[in-house]
């Protein structure tokens, strides 16, 4: 997987609620330009919203990197959310549906993971967290001849 030669990564600072809206808008615009369908765009924006909010609330702010991808066969989008906060002390627990450290529904990380094809978390207590989520444009199924 390599970044597309057509566009480079967009970096979005995450330090306020207004930045969360800006990050969502940038993800939607990039996803639409890459050819993601409306449902896929909505999933990506939802994942970005959850991950950006975690970056702000739990990581104390940071930034998002939104990168168009092209592996020669497919186009995709990589979203990376980086903070220098306290890190995640128990990643396995944090990835469990229903677990919350902030009074929410507990579907942030686990929910975002289900909305993309590739998902990774690099974290260490006291060092911060980087969450990377990648989605690929789904191919439209070809019509089957002979069905009428």
CA dist 37 → 21, 46, 82, 111, 140 (Å) = 20, 14, 27, 20, 9
pLDDT at 5 over 80: no
Q: Could you tell me the two tokens for 110?
A: 């686990």
Percent of the chain with pLDDT over 70: 81
pLDDT at 12 over 60: yes
pLDDT of 2 > 60? The answer is no
In angstroms, the CA 86 to CA 62 distance is 12
Residues 6 or more apart in contact with residue 91 via CB below 8 angstroms = 121, 123
pLDDT digit string, tens, across residues 20-41 = 999 999 999 999 999 999 999 9
Cβ-based neighbours of 29, under 8 Å, separated by 6 or more:
none
Task: Answer yes or no: is pLDDT of 131 > 50.
Answer: yes
Contact 62, 82 (CB under 8 A): yes
Q: Which residue has the higher pLDDT, 105 or 136?
A: 136
The pair phi, psi for residue 3, each rounded to 5°, is -60, 145
Has domain 10-136 been given CATH number 3.40.50.300? Answer: no
Average pLDDT, integer, range 122-128: 91
Cα separation, 45 vs 53, whole angstroms: 12
Taken in order 83, 86, 91, 97, is the CA torsion positive or negative? Answer: negative
**Secondary structure class of 48 (helix, strand, coil):** helix
Domain ranges for the chain: 10-136
Mean pLDDT of 46-65: 94
């Amino acid at each position: 997987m390599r970044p597309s030669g057509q566009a480079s990564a967009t970096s979005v600072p995450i330090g306020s609620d207004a930045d969360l809206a800006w990050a969502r808008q940038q993800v939607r615009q990039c996803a639409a330009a890459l050819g993601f369908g409306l449902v896929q765009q909505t999933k990506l924006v939802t994942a970005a919203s959850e991950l950006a909010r975690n970056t702000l609330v739990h990581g104390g702010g940071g930034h998002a990197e939104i990168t168009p991808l092209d592996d020669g066969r497919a186009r995709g989008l990589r979203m990376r959310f980086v903070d220098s906060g306290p890190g995640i002390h128990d990643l396995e627990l944090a990835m469990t549906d229903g677990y919350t450290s902030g009074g929410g529904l507990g579907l942030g990380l686990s929910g975002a993971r289900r909305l993309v094809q590739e998902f990774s978390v690099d974290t260490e207590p006291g060092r911060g967290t980087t969450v990377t989520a990648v989605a690929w444009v789904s191919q439209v199924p070809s019509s089957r001849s002979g069905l009428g």
